Amino acid sequence: MKIQLPQKVDYIINQLMKHGFEAYAVGGCVRDSILGKEPEDWDITTSAKPEEVKKIFYRTIDTGILHGTVTVMLEKEGYEVTTYRIDGEYEDNRHPKAVEFTANLAEDLRRRDFTINAMAYNGKGGMVDIFGGLKDIEDGIIRCVGSARDRFDEDALRILRAIRFSAQLGFEIEKETLEAIKEKKEHLKNISAERIRVELNKLLLSDHPEKLFIAYETGITKVILPEFDIMMATGQYNHHHIYSVGVHTVKGIEAVGKTKDKSSAMEQWKELRLPRQFHEFQSKDKLILKWTLLLHDVEKPSCKFRGKDGEDHFYGHQEKGAQTAKNVLRRLKFDNETLDKVVRLVQWHDYDFSLTPAGMRKAINKIGEDIMELLFEVKRADVLAQNPDTWEDKLTSITKAETLFYEIHEKKECINLKMLAINGQDLISLGLQPGKKIGDILNKLLDCVLEKPEYNERKTLIDIAQKYLKDEC
């Protein structure tokens, strides 16, 4: 098996070897190369100690010197070079007390999580595959290096990483490894929210987010996302639905980004302006969309009741769900922008647009222009996870709403106070005292303009404001 190493990686490896050390590309980059995928980054492992690496290269950064990692800088690009190491005893199922350097590559590979991540390669020695990683890649299997139970005792994050890799690669988890996951899942309680968040994000953005079901079946979600278990246990007897809340949720996550190819009904709307493609969303927005789908119905279980019509209803689940979404995202230490947008999208995901220009302007004003495009995608994905018999009308009205939105956007029609042709200062110039009244009048003017955008002119608005003031006297 031959891998084409990037020139700079090859250069670093050769330099280290020239100085009498061993050096290999290792881990994820080897795995991805075998799979024919472009690796995100190239890690190098070497028998040279950090101080020795630093002597060989002109520019280096002490990235994690205590753990043996030095970043070698070549023309502004950084490559992590880590000394072969053995992890000492682990504390609290998360990190080793100390690391020890070794001159033996096999020992370094043995400390790695899965066989597919424990291969090393260089142009001279070829592939070093001690644990059968190549065969496991061929067979599509995630298997721990050595005893799965021991590996999960050492670092419980590996439990979640197993699911995440199986979702990214579409691989099955080997039996022993799966058994050990079930046995050791409680250890995930000892893992920091940040590390869990990283893995969950990768799982959600992967090609197989349905592996969330494996996380559920093995008991992982009960530890890190118990809200999901409650959704899985909640049926929805309603003609809009054919799945439980949990299954509907996963179908929604899957549908995000595939809303167009999934729906043949879309064909007939070719003459309408096509919605934005998922790949056009930035990666931050993709994550916002995936998390919104994961949490959009999170409070359906608590809002469920059987109506007189014999069907289940979930009144108020949007607002309550927004609050719970906020709690979940805070718990996982998300950044404010993601948190804010997901919470608002959960709150508005069921909003019924009134399909007139004025109705749409009012909706944009209420919801916020910044999340409108995301909301259309959320709504489509939500629909595509419902009963297919109900898709067509719902999808048609989403596209109509979206078309109206783009028209309003292109005409730059006023949809908030900031876009109003006059401001508080103008009202003060008319003789009004600064205070609450100014806000009231501006809001009244905005209501007018949302109804009739042609009124958004300075003179017209001043006339209307003066009329309001007169009427009130």
Give the binding site for ligand ATP (CB under 6 A).
Answer: 27-28, 40, 43, 112-113, 117-118, 155, 157-158
133: partner contacted, choices Mg ion, ligand ATP, none (Cβ within 5-8 A by kind): none
Find out whether 355 and 401 touch, Cβ atoms under 8 Å: yes
Distances (CA, A) of 163 to 3, 251, 436, 445, 461: 27, 18, 55, 54, 59
Q: In angstroms, what is the minimal distance from the CB of 280 to Mg ion? A: 26
Give the chain's length: 473
Q: In angstroms, what is the minimal distance from the CB of 387 to Mg ion? A: 41
d(CA 384, CA 259): 7
Task: Build a one-symbol-per-residue string for 11-30: x at contacts with Mg ion by CB under 5 A, - elsewhere.
Answer: -----------------x--
112: partner contacted, choices ligand ATP, Mg ion, none (Cβ within 5-8 A by kind): ligand ATP
Q: In angstroms, what is the minimal distance from the CB of 112 to ligand ATP? A: 4
303 Cβ contact list (under 8 Å, min separation 6): 314, 315, 316, 317, 320
Find out whether 429 and 469 touch, Cβ atoms under 8 Å: no
Q: In angstroms, what is the minimal distance from the CB of 39 to ligand ATP? A: 7
Any idea of the CA torsion for 447, 453, 458, 461, to the nearest 10 degrees?
-40
271: partner contacted, choices Mg ion, ligand ATP, none (Cβ within 5-8 A by kind): none
d(CA 328, CA 332): 6
d(CA 210, CA 14): 43
113: partner contacted, choices Mg ion, ligand ATP, none (Cβ within 5-8 A by kind): ligand ATP
Find out whether 324 and 299 touch, Cβ atoms under 8 Å: yes
Q: In angstroms, what is the minimal distance from the CB of 200 to ligand ATP? A: 13
Q: In angstroms, what is the minimal distance from the CB of 309 to ligand ATP? A: 48
d(CA 446, CA 322): 27
Nearer to ligand ATP, 118 or 328 (CB): 118
Closest CA to 193 of 341, 344, 328, 342: 328
Find out whether 153 and 146 touch, Cβ atoms under 8 Å: no
Q: Which residue is nearest to ligand ATP (CB)?
A: 28
292: partner contacted, choices ligand ATP, Mg ion, none (Cβ within 5-8 A by kind): none
158: partner contacted, choices ligand ATP, Mg ion, none (Cβ within 5-8 A by kind): ligand ATP
Nearer to ligand ATP, 95 or 394 (CB): 95
Q: In angstroms, what is the minimal distance from the CB of 156 to ligand ATP? A: 9
Q: In angstroms, what is the minimal distance from the CB of 110 to ligand ATP? A: 10
Nearer to ligand ATP, 43 or 285 (CB): 43
Long-range pairs for 421-424: beta carbons < 8 A, 24 or more residues apart: 421/456, 421/457, 421/458, 421/460, 421/461, 422/458, 422/461, 422/462, 422/465
d(CA 288, CA 374): 8
Nearer to ligand ATP, 191 or 288 (CB): 191
Q: In angstroms, what is the minimal distance from the CB of 32 to Mg ion? A: 9
Residue with tokens 């029609």: 413
Nearer to Mg ion, 42 or 216 (CB): 42
Closest CA to 397 of 349, 348, 355: 355
157: partner contacted, choices ligand ATP, Mg ion, none (Cβ within 5-8 A by kind): ligand ATP
299: partner contacted, choices Mg ion, ligand ATP, none (Cβ within 5-8 A by kind): none
Q: Quick check: 359 binds Mg ion (CB under 5 A)?
A: no
188 Cβ contact list (under 8 Å, min separation 6): 156, 157, 159, 160, 196, 220, 223, 224
Nearer to ligand ATP, 23 or 157 (CB): 157
Nearer to ligand ATP, 108 or 285 (CB): 108
Task: Build a one-symbol-per-residue string for 28-67: x at contacts with Mg ion by CB under 5 A, - elsewhere.
Answer: x---------------------------------------
In 3-state terms the chain splits into helix, strand, coil percentages (rounded to 5) of 60, 10, 30
Positions that interact with Mg ion (CB under 5 A): 28
